[in-house]
Chains A and B, each alone.
Chain A
């Protein structure tokens, strides 16, 4: 199946700094990418949907100025956590889909990024 990578796989940062997480589709063009957040022993919660070349659509309760999403190309989306605080510590997961292919509704997930804010 299609492969999605995330970088970094884990990051530790100081409170107040910004952290950028990359999500790449390695062998297909991702017309749509999704960013999820997963708390320990909890489900994945959708943060935002990004379509290539347009602004991301954020879920209710997600601060768009804090979680900046850029989907500038068909193979790369980035999530920047600005002025990170300890409560932003979490596991961030991206997924990608290619609606132009026969895979239809299937999403392909990255391995996730563990963010720890001290």
Chain B
């Protein structure tokens, strides 16, 4: 079945450091891929998405590229801020209208 594997945290960085959170997936066909962020005390928010191979999703300085050859969708940011501290979830949807399959989440903590 479909699944998502993302690196376990917590990830602890200093402000302005480079961030990478790895995410790989297993799916049949061509799923859509997502990164969601959950700030403390809040619901999940869509951070970015990509719907086909080689697409790059980007938002708020974060980027992720849909790599079908490596079945990956790694999240990157060149310079993190304290306000980026949150839990990040990688997810996939195998077709429009279906539920999301989530990775376990990675907690990011950024200190000043």
Contact = CB atoms under 8 A, between A and B. Distances in A.
A111 B45 CA distance: 10
B75 to A, nearest CB: 16
Interface residue tally of chain A, by bracket?
20 to 34
A99 B97 CA distance: 7
B72 to A, nearest CB: 18
B93 A109 contact: no
Nearest to B44: A109
Interface of B: 4, 32, 36, 41-46, 49, 51, 89, 93, 96-105
Given A42-B104, A93-B44, A109-B43, 18 more contacts: A1-B46, A4-B43, A34-B99, A41-B104, A41-B105, A43-B103, A43-B104, A43-B105, A46-B101, A95-B44, A95-B100, A97-B97, A104-B96, A106-B46, A107-B100, A109-B36, A109-B44, A110-B43
